[in-house]
Structure formats: C-alpha cells, structure tokens
Amino acid sequence: MRRISASLGLAFSLVLGSLGSLPGCAARSQPARWERATAALPSSALGILRDRALRLTSLRALVRIRYRDPEQSFSSREAVLIARPDRVRVEALSWFGAAFVLTTDEQNLLAYVPRENTAYVGKASAENLWRYTGLWIPVEELVDLVLATPGHRGSAPAECPRERNDAAHCLVYEGALGRGFVWLNEEAVPVEVEQGGRDGTVLWAAKYESFQAGSPVPIVEKLVLEAPVFRRSVTLQFHDIEVNPTLKGDEFQVSLPAGSRVVHLEGESLP
C-alpha cells in the first residue's frame, strides 16, 4: 500500500505527514537541552483543565494551513470536525470538492481518495494514523491537542525540563513514543506541548499562539506544529469555528461511491 501521493500534497494529512518520524527514526533527532525547570501544575489547576475537557466536547472549523521547510512553502484549506474522545474528520478542499477525506470513528479509520476512488480502512491506531498524519500518536491525544486540553488524561503535575517565558506550570504525561510535557500559564491554559522520544529527543512540538477572544473555555485559533530537527513547521489558523456542534451521528462516516476499491491497512507494510 502506498501513501497518499504528493499530488495531493495540499491535504491536511500529508502536510502534517512531513512533520512526523517513525520511532526508529528518532536517532536522527538532536538531544533536548535541559534548562531551569518549570514548576508543577497545582492539583486545583489540573482540575480546571479536566473540567474544560468536559465542557468542550467537539469543534467544527475551517482551517488555513501554511507549511514551511528549507526548500518549500505552500498553503491549503481544510474542513475539520473533532469530537471526544476519538472522532476526527478532515477534508482537504479544492475547487472540485474534497480532494481527500480522513475519518476516525469507534476505533476505525478510513482514508478516501476521490480521484482514485479508493478507500483505505483499518483500526484507528497510532500506526495507521501515522500513515496519513506523520504523527505516531493515539487519536485521543490528537483530539486533546486540537481541543486545547493536552495531557489532561493520565497526567500528573511535575516539573518540566526547561522554562517557557509565558508558562507558569507544567504537566508530564506518557505519550505513544515517550514522555510528553505540557506548559501552561497561570490560568492553566496550555502554551506549548512537546513530545519526547525514549532517548530524550524532541520528536515534535506544538505551540498555542492565540485563542478565540471571549470564549468561556480556551478555543484555539492559531496552532503551530514543528519538527525542529528538520526545520519544518505547519501553522493552523482556525476560523468559522463552531463550538460543541450538534452531531447527528453520521458525520464521521463516509458513503463510498459504487465501485470503490477498498484496501485494508492491517497487514500492509508502513510507507
């Protein structure tokens, strides 16, 4: 099974795919710099973070994506729907409709390429998500990242390995590849997330640059994902945001046209 081709490079999935690396590729990363630590998040603030996760259950938005690396830069437009705990729908938009659709629902993943009339289906595992996002991360953690409650599940207040100027507290959690860190401000709003590998390297980082003004809970407006070793970044600018939209139940399903080819991901080698 081949990965989505470069001709679909404006797709959100492939843009993020350029950021990720398989666990075996971590050796190419540079060691993290250890500096003065950020203080642990008080348990009361952790409660606030977890309460926000209960209040913000889903989000629908259009997203303008800007990709940059040392050799190229481009932008695209996506429609995104996110719902707890593990439901995702991403559509890469073009003048002719959706160029690519990715959904996860009830632990199943489907990636549909209209121009090939081909659907790739399998479990919504970290492995299969990597095929289309380049991030070896459970869907639940990806949903938490977009809904601005990273690390709220299974995390513990602890000191982070270095300071952030705009962060007051820190959470530590065990991610899919290793230990992750979440920096938060005085109001327990996330500032930055960093995913470490088993060898202590930094695999990817996420920076929250702005939130929607006047929201009772933090709603992300601008999120930057980076792979520092490769000098690559993706900026996601959210607009037309709908908070906790009413879901009918079929938003995370894709009705395949007649004659669609279906490829089962389990048993297929990774790209």
The pLDDT tens digits of the residues spanning 33-76 come to 434 567 777 888 888 899 999 999 999 999 998 988 888 888 88
End-to-end CA distance of the chain: 7
Contact 58, 175 (CB under 8 A): no
Q: What is the largest CA-CA distance in the chain?
A: 59
Which pLDDT belongs to residue 262? Answer: 94
Minimal CA–CA distance to 189: which of 222, 137, 150, 158? 150
Residue with tokens 């008080």: 42
- Taking the C-alpha atoms of residue 204 and residue 229, their distance in angstroms, rounded to an integer, is 9
CA distances from 86 to 9, 58, 195, 224, 247 (A): 25, 10, 19, 21, 14
Over 50: is that where the pLDDT of 4 sits? no
- Taking the C-alpha atoms of residue 210 and residue 224, their distance in angstroms, rounded to an integer, is 10
What's the pTM?
Answer: 0.81
- Quick one: residue 69, left, alpha or beta (phi over 0 = left, psi -120 to 50 = alpha)? beta
What are the residues whose beta carbons fall under 8 Å from the beta carbon of 22, sequence distance 6 or more?
Answer: 130, 136, 270
Over 80: is that where the pLDDT of 90 sits? yes
